[in-house]
Amino acid sequence: MEKGNKIRVGIMGAGTMGNGIAVLSAINGHDVIVFDNNTQVLEKAKNESIKAIENLHSKNKLQNKSPQEVTSKMYYESDLGMFGICNLVIEAIVEDLTIKQVCYSELEQIVPEDCIIGSNTSSLSIASLSSSLKNPSRFLGIHFFNPPVVMKLVEIVPSLLTDIKILTDIKSLLQSWGKTTVLAKDTPGFIVNRIARPFYTEALRIFDEGIADIPTIDWAMKEIGGFKMGPFELMDLIGNDVNYKVTESIFEQSYFEPRFKPSITQKRLVEAKMFGKKTGRGFYDYSLENQPKPNTDRKLGTKIFNRILAQLINEASDSLLFGIATKEDIDLAMTLGVNYPKGLLKWADEIGISNVINQLQALFDEYGEDRYRISPMLKRMADRGWKFYN
């Protein structure tokens, strides 16, 4: 691949993520070609990127460039043929395996032979996406977080067929854009979306069981756990439709692993189109002037926080055991991708791995559900008196 800002970037899909990645590339000095098969979307995206760039300029976030300098690098095209001069194409179209595969077959006839093709997919298998390409060795997952200009983390996900040489090229390119990259195995949800699942599913379970109400669970995670947002606030912000679908997809792709089991409560919200902030109603009703108050009993709050944290650490430990990422990348991913106050494995060391095991054992004894089985990684660490970090 070319080096530095000589790299010409093609972005496929001018939606939320595609347009964000396009702005990011242009700020970093690349010529960017943005394609979408919907010309209205393309027009809207162009106007939105102009606004976003002006806004970043007002916050001094354009690396000393003028807004005109950045916008002049961006070309919105309804003709895929322009990708014939790209060195890197990042696909951010609708999350649908067949649609993406059809797109790649067309794309491969146009782009140069050494053009790297990355997908921003959140939940699809990189191996199955790459199977539609004649040359799958040039293909990988490049998973940005929303909004791409702001969020520091990018998960790099090779498939079984990816040429490992391109990983180094992509990593250094992303680092030159100020991003921190982590390397993830091609498994459902990669690192962040997988390990973060219990934050939502365990909170929903606590609510479903009537242990605490929604504001109390959110309060506990913020006040006692130090999280920036509570699980229900976050689900409402992400959108219950999106969040539910991600959980369901990871649950199905992992052959129905009980730890990822979606909640009927959230499904009902989705069915009622109570998607959260964007529709005005989700777990909270955003038309209310005053939201319901939490129960600020610290004993209850600690019980809630400990339970959710133990499940998060269990998931992080299992991800390490199954080689989804290194311990450093797991901790980095959760702090940068979803703003957790600490890396989960570091957190386990701090509170004591035996304490985490005791929490999980108590849940397993109470419910007898596989959902609470303890990761062998944690058991082995505790048996040997080891910590994740020395």
Q: Which helix (H) or strand (E) holds 175?
A: helix 164-176
| Piece of 60-68, 88-96, 128-136, 174-182 that binds ligand NAD (CB under 6 A) | 88-96
Quick one: which of 121, 216, 247, 306 contacts ligand NAD (CB under 6 A)?
Answer: 121
d(Cα 32, Cα 87) in Å, to the nearest integer?
Answer: 11
Q: Which helix (H) or strand (E) holds 193?
A: helix 192-195
Quick one: which of 37, 78, 131, 355 contacts ligand NAD (CB under 6 A)?
Answer: 37
Q: CB 207 → ligand NAD: shortest distance, Å?
A: 24
d(Cα 336, Cα 350) in Å, to the nearest integer?
Answer: 20
First-to-last alpha carbon distance for the chain, in angstroms, is: 39
Q: Which residues on neighbouring strands pair with residue 292, listed in sequence order?
A: none
Kindly tell me which of 123 and 263 has the beta carbon lying closer to ligand NAD: 123
Q: What part of residues 342-381 is at the interface with ligand NAD (CB under 6 A)?
A: none
Count of residues interacting with ligand NAD (CB under 6 A): 23
C-alpha distances (whole Å) from 337 to each of 171, 176, 221, 273 are 16, 18, 18, 27
d(Cα 267, Cα 53) in Å, to the nearest integer?
Answer: 37
Cβ neighbours around 153 below 10 Å, total:
23
Quick one: which of 8, 31, 36, 87 contacts ligand NAD (CB under 6 A)?
Answer: 36
Kindly tell me which of 185 and 387 has the beta carbon lying closer to ligand NAD: 185
Kindly tell me which of 67 and 147 has the beta carbon lying closer to ligand NAD: 147
> Is residue 335 near ligand NAD by the rule CB under 6 A?
no
Quick one: which of 146, 265, 296, 326 contacts ligand NAD (CB under 6 A)?
Answer: 146
> Is residue 193 near ligand NAD by the rule CB under 6 A?
no
Nearest residue to ligand NAD on Cβ basis: 15
Q: Count H helices, E strands: the chain?
A: 17, 8
Q: What part of residues 3-22 is at the interface with ligand NAD (CB under 6 A)?
A: 12-18
Classified as helix, coil or strand, 62 is coil
- Which of the residues are catalytic? 122, 143, 155, 193
d(Cα 276, Cα 234) in Å, to the nearest integer?
Answer: 9
Tokens of 11: 């972005």
Site string for ligand NAD, 89-108 (x = CB under 6 A): ---xxxx---x---x-----
Kindly tell me which of 92 and 357 has the beta carbon lying closer to ligand NAD: 92
Q: CB 189 → ligand NAD: shortest distance, Å?
A: 11
Kindly tell me which of 5 and 16 has the beta carbon lying closer to ligand NAD: 16
Q: CB 327 → ligand NAD: shortest distance, Å?
A: 24
User: Using the 8-state DSSP alphabet, how is residue 86 labeled?
Assistant: -
| Piece of 1-9, 49-57, 86-94, 287-295 that binds ligand NAD (CB under 6 A) | 86-94
Kindly tell me which of 7 and 129 has the beta carbon lying closer to ligand NAD: 129
Kindly tell me which of 43 and 95 has the beta carbon lying closer to ligand NAD: 95
User: Using the 8-state DSSP alphabet, how is residue 65 labeled?
Assistant: -
Quick one: which of 25, 28, 87, 122 contacts ligand NAD (CB under 6 A)?
Answer: 122
> Is residue 86 near ligand NAD by the rule CB under 6 A?
no
Q: Which residues on neighbouring strands pair with residue 154, listed in sequence order?
A: 144, 181
Cβ neighbours around 95 below 10 Å, total:
17
Under 8 Å CB-to-CB from 154, ≥6 apart: which residues? 142, 143, 144, 145, 174, 179, 180, 181, 182
Give the number of C-alpha atoms closer than 13 A to the C-alpha of residue 251, restricted to the C-beta side: 16
> Which positions touch ligand NAD (CB under 6 A)?
12-18, 36-38, 41, 92-95, 99, 103, 120-122, 144-146
